[in-house]
Amino acid sequence: MAAHNELGARAEAAAADFMERNGWTILARNWRFGHREIDLIARRGRTIAFVEVKARSMLAHGHPLESIDWRKRRHLAAAAAAWISTEGRPGWEYRFDAIDVVPGRGPRRPLRVTHTAHAWSM
C-alpha cells in the first residue's frame, strides 16, 4: 500500500475512533453512491453527521480541510441526499462535519484529530 493510502486508512480509523469516544455511533464507513463516497456516517441521538476525513503528513502543503472545495461538497451533498432518501427518518437532523488528521509531535508522532462540526451546509 502506498504511504498516502496508508495514512488515509489510519486517519479514517482514528476519526471513527474519535467519534465513537465522543458518543457517536458509526453507521457506515466509506459509504458509496455511484462514484461518490462519504468517509463516515455517524449518529448521536437524532443527529446524523456526514463526515469527510482529510489527512496530511505535514502542513507545509496547506491545512487538510482546504482540500474540501465546492466540487467535493457538491458530491458529498448528492451522496448524503441518496443516503437520506433510503435510510433517513422524520425528525432527524443532518449536517456535514469534517475531521482533519495530522501527525503530532514527538518521537512516536501520534495522530492529532480535530473535529469540525457543521463544517458547511447543504
In a domain? residue 98: yes
Give me the number of domains the chain comprises: 1
Along the 122 residues of the chain, how does pLDDT read in single tens digits?
A: 555 577 788 889 999 999 999 999 999 999 999 999 999 999 999 999 999 998 877 665 666 677 788 999 999 999 999 999 999 999 999 999 999 888 766 556 678 898 999 998 86
In a domain? residue 116: no
In a domain? residue 63: yes
User: How many residues comprise the chain?
Assistant: 122
In a domain? residue 9: yes
In a domain? residue 112: no
In a domain? residue 57: yes
What is the full DSSP assignment across the chain? --HHHHHHHHHHHHHHHHHHHTT-EEEEEEEEETTEEEEEEEEETTEEEEEEEEE-S-GGG--GGGG--HHHHHHHHHHHHHHHHHH--TT-EEEEEEEEEEE-SSSS--EEEEEEEEEE--
Q: What range does the domain containing 13 cover?
A: 3-106
pLDDT at 112 (0 to 100):
85
CATH assignment at residue 72: 3.40.1350.10
In a domain? residue 97: yes
Cα separation, 17 vs 74, in Å, equals 26
CB atoms under 10 Å from CB of 14, counted, come to 18
In a domain? residue 72: yes
Q: Would you state the cell numbers that stand for residue 76, as one nine-digit string?
A: 458529498
pLDDT at 65 (0 to 100):
73
- Name residue 58's beta-bridge partners: none
Total-model pTM: 0.88
43 CA to centre of own chain = 13
